Amino acid sequence: MKQPVRVRFAFVIVALSAVLLGVVFLWLHLSSPFDGARLVPGQPAWRPDGVIVTPVQEQPGGLHQGDVVVAIEGKSMESWARALFEPGTLRPQWHVGQTIIYTVVRSGHQLNVPVTLGPYPLGIILISAWSTILFALVFFLVAAFVFLLRPDDRAARVQLLMGASIVGATTWSLGLHVGDLVNGIGFWLFKATTLGMYSLFWISILHFALVFPQSHPLIVKRSWIIPLIYLVPSAFELVYIAGVWPGATSTLDWLGRWILGESILPPVCLVAAIFVLIWNYRYSHRTWWINQSTPCEPTSSRFFRHWAVRTGHLILK
């Protein structure tokens, strides 16, 4: 059934916004001075009194692997973290070549380290994360191609959303650096993509399972389920973030606890999507497979043949 233009337009706007967030985050880093270190994605980097940094390329006299940055230019990292929630806070205007004093804890001793800011080493970071970024870009291009061919197909629209959100979430591979906490904008862009877009990717996977290769019986007469699967996880993340605040010893400690909430959604959506696919496999298309196959054809062959036919139909029709 042909969908209203506003439905297609809404999906395109959300998809473009997801990609744009990632592009703006990258542009911000390319146009801002870099201290040579970052908070490595996927590793514990938050402490109640500071953040643990890892140099992209360790330099003599600079930051070392495992240094805990507790202050910058005499202002504690806790103060910088609190300033993230204080609109209008004055931010320093640093530039490439400027030397900034970082106060770090290294091997149990506190010392001041002069850090000379330089350009963002995009090439080095891309080399280390090229496979993830390439996967996201190819996924998005294929999804965009399918959408252009079949803009009225629900599965094509949801696939576009999946591709765009995973591109936006590739900022996770770039990682945060201390400057993002200082300027504020970088931190919130990072969270908008690694929390918002990454969550959207996994939610859209579940949505895709419900509409591909055709709408699941569960949502045929219960269309309200679709907006619910987007709203409930988002509400859960907000409740979780608020819920861990009372137990946090500092703002930095609270920010570090957000990561656990971010890691809950992916396995939940994945398990739910697998369950939906199995349900589809066993019930929704059983009659179709039987009618369209020879009596001796194995059930697994019927399933994969149906999937291949439906996918080709989505692209070529």
pLDDT at position 92 is: 87
User: 81, 116, 151: which is the final residue of a domain?
Assistant: 116
Residues 50 and 98 in one domain: yes
Other residues' Cβ atoms within 10 Å of the Cβ of residue 188:
13
Split at pLDDT 50, 70, 90, the class of 43 is confident
Q: Which two tokens stand for residue 29?
A: 């880093």
Q: What percent of the chain shows pLDDT beyond 70? A: 87
CA 84 to chain centre: 20
pLDDT at position 18 is: 92
What CATH number corresponds to the domain at position 68? Answer: 2.30.42
Residues 108 and 213 in one domain: no
In a domain, 226, yes or no: yes
Between CA 169 and CA 41 the distance in angstroms is: 12
Q: Is 109 helix (H, G, I), strand (E, B) or coil?
A: strand
Residues 74 and 190 in one domain: no
Q: Which residue has the tokens 């803009």?
A: 151
pLDDT at position 289 is: 45
Q: Which helix (H) or strand (E) holds 137?
A: helix 122-149
Q: Higher model confidence: residue 294 or residue 176? A: 176
Model's pTM, two decimal places?
Answer: 0.81
Residues 62 and 11 in one domain: no
Query: Which are the contacts of 43, defined by CB distance < 8 A and separation ≥ 6?
Result: 52, 54
Mean pLDDT of 235-259: 91
Split at pLDDT 50, 70, 90, the class of 1 is very low
Query: Which are the contacts of 222, defined by CB distance < 8 A and separation ≥ 6?
Result: none
Give the total number of structural domains in the chain: 2
Give the pairing type, strands 75-76 and 50-52. unpaired
pLDDT at position 294 over 70: no
Q: Is 87 helix (H, G, I), strand (E, B) or coil?
A: coil
Beta strand spans in the chain (E):
37-38, 46-47, 50-52, 54-55, 68-72, 75-76, 99-106, 109-116
Report how far apart, in Å, the C-alpha atoms of 123 and of each of 140, 167, 174, 221, 237 are: 22, 18, 11, 51, 34
In a domain, 30, yes or no: no
Residues 240 and 283 in one domain: yes
In a domain, 31, yes or no: no
pLDDT at position 50 is: 92
Average per-residue pLDDT in the chain? 83
Q: Is 176 helix (H, G, I), strand (E, B) or coil?
A: strand
Query: Which are the contacts of 71, defined by CB distance < 8 A and separation ≥ 6?
Result: 50, 77, 102, 103
Mean pLDDT of 17-29: 92
Residues 11 and 141 in one domain: yes
pLDDT at position 305 is: 52
In a domain, 236, yes or no: yes
Residue ranges making up the domain that contains 209? 5-25+122-316
DSSP state of 108: T
User: 82, 98, 116: which is the final residue of a domain?
Assistant: 116
Report how far apart, in Å, the C-alpha atoms of 149 and of each of 66, 152, 313 are: 50, 9, 11
Residues 175 and 249 in one domain: yes
User: 91, 116, 141: which is the final residue of a domain?
Assistant: 116
In a domain, 283, yes or no: yes
How many residues in total does the chain contain? 317
Mean pLDDT of 284-306: 48
Other residues' Cβ atoms within 10 Å of the Cβ of residue 92:
12
Evaluate whether 289 touches 303 at the Cβ level (below 8 Å).
Answer: yes
Q: What percent of the chain shows pLDDT beyond 90? A: 40
Split at pLDDT 50, 70, 90, the class of 165 is very high
In tens, the pLDDT along 69-110 reads 999 999 999 999 999 998 878 888 899 999 999 999 998 899
In a domain, 193, yes or no: yes
Residues 106 and 130 in one domain: no
Q: How many helices (H) and strands (E) does the chain have?
A: 13, 8
Residues 73 and 205 in one domain: no
In a 10 Å sphere around its CB, with 0-12 CB exposed, 13-18 middle and 19+ buried, how is residue 178 labelled? Answer: buried
Q: Which residue has the tokens 């850090």?
A: 115
Residues 205 and 77 in one domain: no
pLDDT at position 3 is: 57
Residues 157 and 89 in one domain: no
pLDDT at position 290 over 80: no
Residues 179 and 292 in one domain: yes
pLDDT at position 138 over 90: yes
In a domain, 237, yes or no: yes
In a domain, 251, yes or no: yes
